[in-house]
């Protein structure tokens, strides 16, 4: 089979890339070794956050995403019609709190730095925070409001992006693992192999989430994307008691840490279905899928510091997934400078749902030579901060 582009992975990032490329008129094939939208993109929470990002390239990408999602959600709704489930986009805003005296100053300083970088953020007096979130622990020591934080339903969003890509001509091949690359005499990647297909394409995009390192390896390239485990608790349905994304300031430290050991921080939000999602943990333990009581207890304990009422709320289930982690905490978006024809759209760690749409737009622009929506340099595989983690030129 021949196409202009093959995308490895039908999670939210692969779906967004497929849509963006297919809408430029390219023929696109998406290959997934499992079912579409069933891996990491079905194991997260759906936060579209600017609040947790320090000034720099990832915040720039998140600010762009925060402008882009309302447009994207409206386009998908128009295109797919009322019969397709809604992506549940809601710009509900985020409230970040400190629960200790020592945490109050750093929280406000962080917010000031973000405001200078264009984030809509304001300090809240304790009384105002309690007015916005009446069930919040009154003992909080500081609170900050972020107007741009939003939420979507990640599985529906992935399916909607794939449906839109299909309408633009993309084909999706489920249950086919990509196992090798096709190369021409110069070494340029010209397609991929699966057990049953040979797919020729000038552009191959690896969007294989936490398995991107392994997928790149199968294609003869090395890429330092590793799994970072995360676990979420889900409560029974209730009358709405949590109105924003509410989390404790510890979360910044956990997202930016390179520490492999268990870290937990509290992120609490309600869903349109009436459940409350309580996240989350971060741990580098390979692809170990077991749920750990120690982790569940640590997440629950921290959530009670934010919302004491949760103590008597039943937890109906817990689930976990693997964030696609990169050692310099930035997604990898662009062509591999060592392997022409091989592209990456991966490594978004805990922000891949929020950043998928703009990642697709960036890939679409870079592949076709159009004006990119933001400076692509900080995300390229050749960036200096990733160099130390890559094998020498040409080696796999």
Ligand X SMILES: Cc1cc2nc3c(=O)[nH]c(=O)nc-3n(C[C@H](O)[C@H](O)[C@H](O)COP(=O)(O)OP(=O)(O)OC[C@H]3O[C@@H](n4cnc5c(N)ncnc54)[C@H](O)[C@@H]3O)c2cc1C
Q: Alpha helices of the chain — where are they, by DSSP H?
A: 12-22, 57-80, 101-116, 126-132, 154-167, 212-218, 250-256, 293-306, 352-368, 384-387
Placement of tokens 């340099």 in the chain:
377
Q: How many residues bind ligand X (CB under 6 A)?
A: 42
Strands 189-194 and 178-183: antiparallel
191 near ligand X, rule: CB under 6 A: no
381 to each of 57, 296, 331, 335, 387, how far by Cα in Å?
Answer: 14, 35, 9, 7, 8
124 near ligand X, rule: CB under 6 A: no
| The binder of ligand X chosen from 346, 361, 366, 381 (CB under 6 A) | 346
Strand partners, 380: none
Residues 119 and 146: beta-carbon distance below 8 Å: yes
- Burial-class residue 185 by CB neighbours within 10 Å (0-12, 13-18, 19+): exposed
| The binder of ligand X chosen from 66, 280, 283, 326 (CB under 6 A) | 280
The Cα–Cα gap between 33 and 31 comes to 7
215-234: contacts with ligand X (CB under 6 A): 215, 218, 230, 232
260-279: contacts with ligand X (CB under 6 A): 279
Q: Nearer to ligand X by C-beta: 43 or 329?
A: 43
Closest CA to 83 of 163, 26, 179: 163
152-181: contacts with ligand X (CB under 6 A): 177-178
Q: Provide the minimum distance between the beta carbon of 203 and ligand X in the complex, in angstroms, as a whole number.
A: 16
Part of the chain binding ligand X (CB under 6 A), chosen from 111-119, 163-171, 255-263, 316-324: 316-324
The Cα–Cα gap between 16 and 30 comes to 11
- Give the contact letters, 349-388, x = binds to ligand X (CB under 6 A), - = no: -xxxxx----------------------------------
Q: Provide the minimum distance between the beta carbon of 139 and ligand X in the complex, in angstroms, as a whole number.
A: 26
Q: Nearer to ligand X by C-beta: 103 or 227?
A: 227
Residues found near ligand X in the complex (CB under 6 A): 8-14, 31-34, 39-41, 43-47, 177-178, 207-209, 211, 215, 218, 230, 232, 279-280, 321-324, 346, 348, 350-354
């Amino acid at each position: 089979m021949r196409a202009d582009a093959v995308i490895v992975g039908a999670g939210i990032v692969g779906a967004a890339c497929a849509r963006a490329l297919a809408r430029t008129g390219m023929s696109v094939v998406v290959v997934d070794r499992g079912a579409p939208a069933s891996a990491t993109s079905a194991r997260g929470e759906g936060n579209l956050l600017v609040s947790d990002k320090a000034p720099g390239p990832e915040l720039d990408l998140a600010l762009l995403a925060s402008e882009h999602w309302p447009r994207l959600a409206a386009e998908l709704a128009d295109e797919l019609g009322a019969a397709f489930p809604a992506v549940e986009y809601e710009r509900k805003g985020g409230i970040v709190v400190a629960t200790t005296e020592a945490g109050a100053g750093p929280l406000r300083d962080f917010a000031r730095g973000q405001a200078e970088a264009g984030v809509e953020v304001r300090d809240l007096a304790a009384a105002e925070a309690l007015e916005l979130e009446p069930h919040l622990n009154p003992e909080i020591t500081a609170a900050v409001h972020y107007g741009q934080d939003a939420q979507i339903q990640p599985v529906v969003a992935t399916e909607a992006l794939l449906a839109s890509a299909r309408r633009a001509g993309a084909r999706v091949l489920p249950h086919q693992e990509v196992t090798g690359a096709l190369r021409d005499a110069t070494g340029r990647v010209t397609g991929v192999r699966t057990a049953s297909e040979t797919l020729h394409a000038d552009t191959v995009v690896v969007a294989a989430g936490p398995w991107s390192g392994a997928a790149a390896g199968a294609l003869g390239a090395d890429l330092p994307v590793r799994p970072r485990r995360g676990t979420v608790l889900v409560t029974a349905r209730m009358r709405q008691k949590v109105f924003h994304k509410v989390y404790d300031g510890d979360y910044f430290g956990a997202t930016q840490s390179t520490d492999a050991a268990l870290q937990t921080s509290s992120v609490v939000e309600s869903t349109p279905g009436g459940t409350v999602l309580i996240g989350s943990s971060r741990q580098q333990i390979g692809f170990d899928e077991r749920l750990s009581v120690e982790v569940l207890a640590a997440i629950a304990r921290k959530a009670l510091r934010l919302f004491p009422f949760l103590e008597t709320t039943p937890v109906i289930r817990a689930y976990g997934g693997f964030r696609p982690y990169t050692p310099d905490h930035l997604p990898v978006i662009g062509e591999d400078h060592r392997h022409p024809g091989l592209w990456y759209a991966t490594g978004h760690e805990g922000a891949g749902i929020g950043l998928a749409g703009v990642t697709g737009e960036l890939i679409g622009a870079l592949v076709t030579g159009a004006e990119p929506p933001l400076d692509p340099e900080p995300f390229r595989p050749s960036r200096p901060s990733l160099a130390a983690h890559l094998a020498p030129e040409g080696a796999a």
